[in-house]
Structure 1
Amino acid sequence: MNWETGTSLQSGKYLIQKILGQGGFGITYLAKETATGSLVAIKTLNEKVRKRPDFIQCQQDFLNEALRLAKCSHPYIVEVHELIFEEPVWCVVMEYINGIDVASLIQEEGILSEFQALVYIGQIAQALIFVHHQGILHRDVKPLNILITNNRTEARLIDFGLARKFTPNLTQTHTEYTSEGFSPLEQYDKRALRGAYTDVYGLAATLYGMLTGKAPKPALKRYRSFSQYQEDPLVPPKKLNHLISQQVNDAILKGMALEPQNRPNSISNWLKLLDLDIKFNPNYAVQEMPALPTAEWSSATGIDYSKLRDLLAAGNWQEADRETGNLMLLICGREKEGKLNIDDLQNFPQRDLLTLDNLWREYSLGRFGFSIQGKLWQKINGKYEDFCNLIGWRKKFATLPYNQLIFNITAPQGHLPTWGRRGQLWPHLAAKILDLLKDED
């Protein structure tokens, strides 16, 4: 029987709040630590497994997973607090990540921008490099096993249920278990050569899923097709999403090569194909993410957008909003007046408006930007008050003051930038935006 809300564990040390999720073997609960009030995740074996004749072996495997996870203490791996025994099962008490797994994120909000996907991939890569230096393969890298924090800044690798010790390039016996689309060919064999290239495949396949919204064709099906037709039937990700750069497309395909010897032999070597140079950090500290390649931001008037880019990249939404207003004044030569007029908007350089929009869209994962606002404006047929209600600029029939707006990623879609709150000029800016959207279509 599953534990119900309010169930006490360890003589009242933990109180069960709800079930977070369950799979074929385990079940994970949200619990409160009564002494501190902090939330934790508690994972144990589910009721189905408890009734199996090999329950004792399952229990041992579960403990081994917990010990492997505890050994892998790293900022981008979910942290183990302690092991507890609550008759009749062992439980692992872990850090609770208030967030969403990548698979659910894509399902709810759509595919990720290349920039944001590479940020998350770089973070999980750091975790895997550390794990490999402990002599462990994760063997189950996939979107479901990567949690993204609610502020959308960090990723955490979870679920070490399939993790196993390995010696590079040595034939070893591992359990046959695969995640369709994300497991490499060698994982379909109980005995095969083992190496970091196994997790390279999973990480490359995860990037494929992040950027296309689709799981890649399973490796075994690709192999059978290859044997029959002498070609790899994996659809290149760029065919599914033309916005993917050629460099990232090629790195994904190289990381997902069918035969292990055709893949980079380490996570670090695969990252070099993406121009990400991340190495093992023996002190477990999070490395500074190197600057990721982004498009060159174009201006018809010689404007430098680097400050706005840096503010957006840092998630400093309010300062980025103010910088956007300053740049619009600068572009139109209206710094002294501190405001624009209808002619300014009608003559606003298309290239600069597109650049401002691209920056906001890319760094907000498609939540903010002028084009996002333009599409919502179309949706409500150009009624300004309805538009303000939709994107959160109005509440209870009154326009919100600037200090009551929401300057974080959880704000309603289209909430930022806020320049359009100057209602009398917004329709003229909207007309300009709609022209851009028409050109885009």
Structure 2
Amino acid sequence: MAWQPGEQLLNGKYTIESELGKGGFGITYLARDDRDRPFAIKTLGRKARFTQELAKYKEEFLKEADCLSRCIHPSIVRLEEVIDTDSLCCVVLEYIDGTTLARLVKQKGRLSEREALFYTYQIADALRLVHEQGFLHRDVKPMNIVLRQERSDAVLIDFGLALEFSQDQVEIHHEQGSLGFAPLEQYDLRALRGAYTDVYGLAATLYSLLTAKVPPSASSRDRSWVKTQTDPLVPPKTLNPSVSDRVNTAILKGLALVPENRPQSIEAWLELLQDGPSDFSPQPTEMTPAIPEVANSISAVGMDYTTLERLLADGQWQQADRETEALMIRVAGREAEGRLNVEDVKHFPGRDLRTLDRLWTEYSNGHFGLSIQRQMWSKSAGDYEQLSDRLGWRRDNEWVSYADLTFDLTAPVGHLPSWGRRGRLWSFLATRLKKCSL
């Protein structure tokens, strides 16, 4: 049940005045303490409280408080206290009486470069501290930046998606983020994370401030690139000719789809903003590519595909087939189990699926590959036995043993890689391949 105006907490220490807003599993209220000072109190909402996963939600909720307790900065919302009892779990935050950058842009339209950079530099300095403390914010966007009414200082709020990270380490993360402001790696359950993840969000925020437009989502950009080799991201200078070449270049670098092609830290990105054009010199505005990179990246989790490429180049198809299965298990972090489960397949990193497919299709001249198999799946109307007949995994209604597969180019089209012979999981793999534009 939601708190009502006038309701008191901690024996009258705080009195609820009104509801400020709701998030994924939290709800925030405006309250006043017994000295009449305003505060924002964030607590678990009904969806989180009445679920079997309450303990998990509570743990994640308190991580936000832990992050804020360690990240004290003028441009980060201040934590007042944490209340964690059997009946009450909430964080008390300073109340910022102001407007978000999203609302400011909606009211004024696009901002001048000078004003936009003024706010961007403040948030960049805040993020630098967040990263030094071992956290990522993961939800940097104009809606989460509030301007103090009295000074117009920018303050970063809503650390609900903040998590601890080690640069370039793979962990299990929730696939969350805001469309247009979340980078490609946040669409994968397992993917490398680093300061470059927040670089994307801040670059997207600056893009939005200067153009009054939200950039296209990273997933839609990725699909477009895979299908057509074009990027629907319009350079900010095209939408706002007053944007300098220096800032235009920095934004495009910060919005690179492939994490390795972005500045790897907030400091590195700020250098592009402050020190003039980098080694990437943009073409005239109407011709400036939105993403000066090849997007068929190697791995979301830092996997090394050198051995597989060497085996395929040498035509050692059986060894390459075994290496492919081993790689998939390692990408999913299932070395101990030795196999993938349904959830692993449903969330398998798209970048790695595309790399596996690209290597197989390139070195077999389009004879083998995951995308070839998915095309056959479509032609088989989703019937696994019919698919297996087409791919040569079944002959005369009998399943072919692994030793009897054909490991050369006389095999049926799509015969390899053979991991898909695990029939129970194939439909999930087909769905994931389609989602990844394969």
TM, length-normalised to structure 1: 0.61
| Counterpart position of 2:263 | 264
Gaps of 5+ in 1: 278-441
| Counterpart position of 2:336 | none
Deviation at 1:151, TM superposition (A): 3.2
| Counterpart position of 1:6 | 6
Q: Does the residue aligned with 2:273 lie in a helix, a strand or coil?
A: coil
What is the identity, as a one-letter code, of the residue corresponding to 2:225? F
Q: Does the residue aligned with 2:274 lie in a helix, a strand or coil?
A: coil
What is the identity, as a one-letter code, of the residue corresponding to 2:40? A
CA contact (8 A) 1:10 1:86 kept: no
Q: How does 1:54-133 map to 2 (within 5 A)?
A: 54-85=53-84, 88-133=87-132
Deviation at 1:201, TM superposition (A): 0.3
Quickly say closer, same or farther: Cα 1:94–1:276, change in 2 above 3 A.
farther
CA contact (8 A) 2:63 2:163 kept: no
Deviation at 1:12, TM superposition (A): 0.6
Q: Does the residue aligned with 1:273 lie in a helix, a strand or coil?
A: helix
| Counterpart position of 2:231 | 232
Q: Does the residue aligned with 1:186 lie in a helix, a strand or coil?
A: helix
Q: How does 1:252-331 map to 2 (within 5 A)?
A: 252-275=251-274
| Counterpart position of 1:202 | 201
Deviation at 1:182, TM superposition (A): 0.4
CA contact (8 A) 2:42 2:90 kept: yes
CA contact (8 A) 1:42 1:91 kept: yes
CA deviations on 1:61-80 (whole Å, 9 max, x unpaired) are 11122112211111110000
User: CA–CA distance in 1 between the matches of 2:13 and 2:85?
Assistant: 12
| Counterpart position of 2:20 | 20
User: CA–CA distance in 1 between the matches of 2:84 and 2:127?
Assistant: 29
CA deviations on 1:272-321 (whole Å, 9 max, x unpaired) are 111179xxxxxxxxxxxxxxxxxxxxxxxxxxxxxxxxxxxxxxxxxxxx
What is the identity, as a one-letter code, of the residue corresponding to 2:159? F
Query: How many residue pairs end up in the alignment?
Result: 276
What is the identity, as a one-letter code, of the residue corresponding to 2:200? Y
What is the identity, as a one-letter code, of the residue corresponding to 2:127? L
| Counterpart position of 1:287 | none
Quickly say closer, same or farther: Cα 1:102–1:86, change in 2 above 3 A.
farther
User: CA–CA distance in 1 between the matches of 2:201 and 2:175?
Assistant: 15
User: CA–CA distance in 2 between the matches of 1:15 and 1:24?
Assistant: 24
Q: How does 1:418-433 map to 2 (within 5 A)?
A: none
Q: Does the residue aligned with 1:192 lie in a helix, a strand or coil?
A: strand
CA deviations on 1:213-269 (whole Å, 9 max, x unpaired) are 111010111111111121322111111112211211111001001101111110011
What is the identity, as a one-letter code, of the residue corresponding to 2:170? T
User: CA–CA distance in 1 between the matches of 2:149 and 2:250?
Assistant: 28
Off by >3 Å, runs of 4+ in structure 1: none
User: CA–CA distance in 2 between the matches of 1:181 and 1:158?
Assistant: 18
User: CA–CA distance in 2 between the matches of 1:24 and 1:164?
Assistant: 16
CA RMSD, 1 decimal: 1.5
Q: How does 1:348-363 map to 2 (within 5 A)?
A: none
Q: Does the residue aligned with 1:274 lie in a helix, a strand or coil?
A: helix
User: CA–CA distance in 2 between the matches of 1:228 and 1:44?
Assistant: 43
Q: Does the residue aligned with 1:148 lie in a helix, a strand or coil?
A: strand
User: CA–CA distance in 1 between the matches of 2:139 and 2:19?
Assistant: 22
1:219 and 2:212 correspond? no
User: CA–CA distance in 2 between the matches of 1:96 and 1:221?
Assistant: 36
User: CA–CA distance in 2 between the matches of 1:3 and 1:219?
Assistant: 38
What is the identity, as a one-letter code, of the residue corresponding to 1:104? R
Deviation at 1:48, TM superposition (A): 2.4
CA contact (8 A) 1:171 1:194 kept: yes
User: CA–CA distance in 1 between the matches of 2:102 and 2:187?
Assistant: 23
User: CA–CA distance in 2 between the matches of 1:206 and 1:39?
Assistant: 29
User: CA–CA distance in 2 between the matches of 1:219 and 1:114?
Assistant: 24
Deviation at 1:56, TM superposition (A): 2.1
In percent, how many aligned pairs have the same letter? 54
